[in-house]
Amino acid sequence: MGMGMGMGTAMRFGAMALVTVAFSACNQSNAAVTEPTTTVSASAGLAANAVIDDVIDGDTVDVIINGRTERIRLIGIDTPETKKRNSPIECFGPEASAYTELLLPVGTPVYIERDIVNRDDYGRLLGYVYRADDGIFVNYELMRQGFAQPMSIPPNEAFAELFADAARAAEADNAGIWAACSG
| Residues annotated as part of the active site | 73, 81, 124
Spell out the residues 6+ positions from residue 178 whose beta carbon is closer than 8 angstroms to its own: 146, 170, 171
- Give the C-alpha separation, 95 to 52, whole Å: 19
Question: What is the DSSP annotation of 64-118?
Answer: EETTEEEEEEETTEEPPPSS-TTSPPPTTHHHHHHHHHHHS-TT-EEEEE--S--
Q: How far is CA 38 from CA 130, 155, 183, in A?
A: 10, 24, 30
- Give the C-alpha separation, 127 to 49, whole Å: 12
- Tell me the residue length of the chain: 183
Positive or negative, the CA dihedral 94, 56, 128, 116 is positive
